[in-house]
């Protein structure tokens, strides 16, 4: 059973297809792990173990009959609560949707199930999926499997936590400001933010509209890098419903040669309102660069002065023609912020403090006017062109995923804009993969993220595979969960 908790999704699928293990054995091993760790983590907020066992039995019978098998036949997984899953809660962490049950599966969920995957449950998110920690007034707080006193990140924090703990070989996340990559980094696993518009978000709540519908993306979180591209190939492509989704050319990640390939290094974004990366993160970036240099890559530094305005660029581009966060937070109209802040101090507000801060900040930012926002939107588009030009010849870019490893709970409130190390790449629409780089002090995961030009998802995933081979990738937590 312990061995099953270390195999990747497609390794499990191969072992099932070859009848070395049964789907039920794979499912039971991961249910057992979730039951062991979830009381401490609070990552899985609604389980479907009985249904998963029944589906595993059916999968075993299909295998015995010689039926045609999907690529994930009998493989367990987890699903972020923001994706609709028929019969399970679908609240997005919002108090106003407490008790809401999905009546059909999101497109991405349908595609995974059609490929043979067996979801074990849904996982926790921040309120309206808009904060770098995972907690809300419906489900409570999710903890990091590598340190229960540390954040698992957000908004796909429950996904990364249960995958990082060994409870699922992969999961489904979404990302508008780092919501796949930051939790993946904090929890020591792989996460891929695809090129904009690759995977339909039909059935996702909250739903981004306008240009931000391209910046918010769905993508996989996995314990093995080699699972990322096959998962992307299952998930990607239009569904006829999400107008932001487009056809993408997902080339294989195998066989990518890094000899003579340019590897750009962005060690410090130097963005206003943030502090530069700490020593451990800088070392992780340099180790990744050296790994590619040893393969004959041409390593060179890269930075743009436009990155100094990254926070304002992201905020302006996300808000362009978008739905009001304040309205969503209040269930149709903005909350009474002074009253709710006072209630929050006494622990009596129906809203989380970060969501109130975000909503109030949105109102202040919008009050600055269209002229200010337009200047930052134009600056963001210029930055996008500059980065695309730098990456045009098949180069990749290494940068920190965050200025520091997983912080203690609530401390992100003191440095709320550090998410921009991941967030800026959303509005630039480039593919980015978060990659674990071993464990640092206190056995907390280190990591980097690697970007490439739009449409070159195969390059960032290939880079993840190379670094997994060089550094070792994910390892099951050995301290905090025992």
Residue-wise pLDDT tens digits, 162-171: 999 999 999 9
Cis before residue 164, ω within 30 degrees of 0? Answer: no
What is the secondary structure of 18-59 as a DSSP string? Answer: TTSS-HHHHHHHHHHHHHHHHHHH--EEEE-HHHHHHHHHHH
Tokens standing for residue 414 = 């003191």
Q: pLDDT, tens digit, for every residue of 197-233?
A: 999 999 999 998 888 889 999 999 999 999 999 999 9
pLDDT at residue 236 greater than cutoff 70: yes
pTM > 0.95: yes
Q: In the prediction, which pLDDT does 323 show?
A: 85
Tokens standing for residue 187 = 């929890």
Active site residue 179: yes
Q: In the prediction, which pLDDT does 74 show?
A: 98
What's the whole-number average pLDDT of the chain?
A: 96
Tokens standing for residue 397 = 């870019």
Q: Kind and range of the H or E element at 99?
A: none
Burial 230-256 (b: 16+ CB within 10 A, else e): bbbebbbbbbeebebbeebebbebeeb
Check: CB of residue 428 under 8 Å from CB of residue 468.
no
Q: In the prediction, which pLDDT does 211 show?
A: 85
Q: What band does 273 get if pLDDT is binned at 50, 70 and 90?
A: very high
Given the residues 78, 94, 155, 326, the one annotated as active site: 155
Q: What band does 94 get if pLDDT is binned at 50, 70 and 90?
A: very high
Residues in Cβ contact with 410 at an 8 Å cutoff, skipping those fewer than 6 apart: 133
Cα–Cα distance measured from residue 375 to residue 342, given in angstroms and rounded to the nearest whole number: 35
Q: In the prediction, which pLDDT does 481 show?
A: 63
Given the residues 80, 110, 193, 306, the one annotated as active site: 80
CATH fold, domain 3-315+374-471, is: Amidase signature (AS) enzymes (3.90.1300)
Given the residues 78, 174, 179, 315, the one annotated as active site: 179
Q: In the prediction, which pLDDT does 480 show?
A: 60
Q: In the prediction, which pLDDT does 309 show?
A: 98
pLDDT at residue 161 greater than cutoff 80: yes
Spatial CA neighbour of 312 closest among 354, 274, 268, 267: 274
* DSSP category for residue 368: T
Q: In the prediction, which pLDDT does 369 show?
A: 76
Active site residue 155: yes
Q: In the prediction, which pLDDT does 441 show?
A: 87
Alpha carbon separation from 64 to 12, 52, 57, 85, 249 (Å, rounded): 17, 18, 11, 28, 35
Domain definitions of the chain by residue range: 3-315+374-471
Tokens standing for residue 2 = 């312990």
pLDDT at residue 80 greater than cutoff 80: yes
Cα–Cα distance measured from residue 193 to residue 179, given in angstroms and rounded to the nearest whole number: 9
Q: pLDDT, tens digit, for every residue of 365-375?
A: 777 778 899 99
Tokens standing for residue 260 = 């003579």
Active site residue 80: yes
Q: pLDDT, tens digit, for every residue of 3-31?
A: 899 999 999 999 999 999 999 999 999 99
């Amino acid at each position: 059973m312990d061995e099953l908790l270390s195999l990747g999704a497609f390794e499990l699928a191969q072992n099932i297809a070859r009848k070395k293990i049964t789907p039920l054995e794979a499912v039971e091993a991961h249910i057992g792990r979730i039951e062991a760790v979830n009381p401490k983590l609070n990552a899985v907020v609604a389980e479907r173990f009985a249904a998963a066992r029944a589906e595993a039995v059916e999968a075993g019978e299909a295998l015995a009959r010689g039926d045609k098998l999907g690529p994930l036949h009998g493989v367990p997984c987890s699903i972020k609560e923001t994706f609709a899953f028929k019969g399970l809660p679908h609240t997005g962490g919002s108090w106003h949707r407490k008790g809401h049950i999905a009546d059909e599966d999101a497109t991405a969920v349908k595609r995974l199930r059609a490929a043979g995957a067996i979801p074990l449950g849904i996982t926790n998110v921040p309120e309206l999926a808009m904060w770098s920690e995972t907690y809300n007034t419906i489900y409570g707080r999710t903890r990091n499997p590598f340190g229960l006193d540390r954040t698992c990140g957000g908004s796909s924090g429950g996904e990364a936590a249960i995958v990082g703990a060994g409870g699922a070989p992969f999961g489904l996340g979404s990302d508008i400001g780092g919501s796949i990559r930051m939790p993946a980094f904090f929890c020591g696993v792989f996460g891929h933010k695809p090129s904009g518009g690759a995977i339909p978000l039909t059935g996702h709540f909250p739903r981004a509209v306008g240009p931000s519908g391209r910046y918010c993306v769905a993508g996989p979180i996995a314990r093995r890098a080699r699972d990322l591209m096959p998962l992307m190939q299952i998930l990607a492509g239009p569904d006829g419903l999400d107008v932001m989704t487009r056809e993408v050319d997902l080339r294989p990640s195998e066989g990518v040669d890094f000899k003579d390939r340019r590897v750009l290094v962005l060690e410090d974004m130097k963005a206003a309102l943030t502090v530069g990366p700490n020593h451990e993160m800088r070392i992780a970036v340099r180790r990744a660069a050296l790994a590619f240099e040893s393969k004959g890559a041409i390593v060179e530094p890269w930075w743009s002065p436009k990155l100094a305005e990254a926070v304002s660029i992201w905020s302006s581009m996300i808000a362009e023609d978008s739905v009001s966060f304040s309205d969503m937070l209040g269930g149709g109209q903005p909350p009474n912020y002074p009253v709710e802040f006072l209630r929050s101090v006494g622990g009596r507000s129906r809203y989380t403090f970060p969501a109130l801060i975000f909503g109030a900040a949105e109102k202040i930012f919008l009050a600055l006017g269209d002229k200010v926002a337009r200047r930052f939107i134009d600056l963001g588009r210029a930055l996008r062109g500059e980065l695309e030009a730098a990456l045009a010849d098949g180069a990749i870019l290494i940068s920190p995923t965050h200025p520091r490893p997983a912080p203690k709970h609530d401390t992100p409130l003191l440095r709320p804009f550090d998410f921009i190390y991941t967030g800026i790449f959303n509005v630039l629409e480039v593919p980015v993969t978060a990659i674990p780089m071993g464990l640092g002090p206190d056995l907390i995961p280190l990591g980097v993220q690697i970007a490439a030009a739009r449409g070159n998802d195969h390059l960032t995933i290939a880079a993840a595979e190379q670094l997994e081979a060089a550094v070792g990738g994910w390892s099951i937590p050995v301290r905090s969960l025992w």
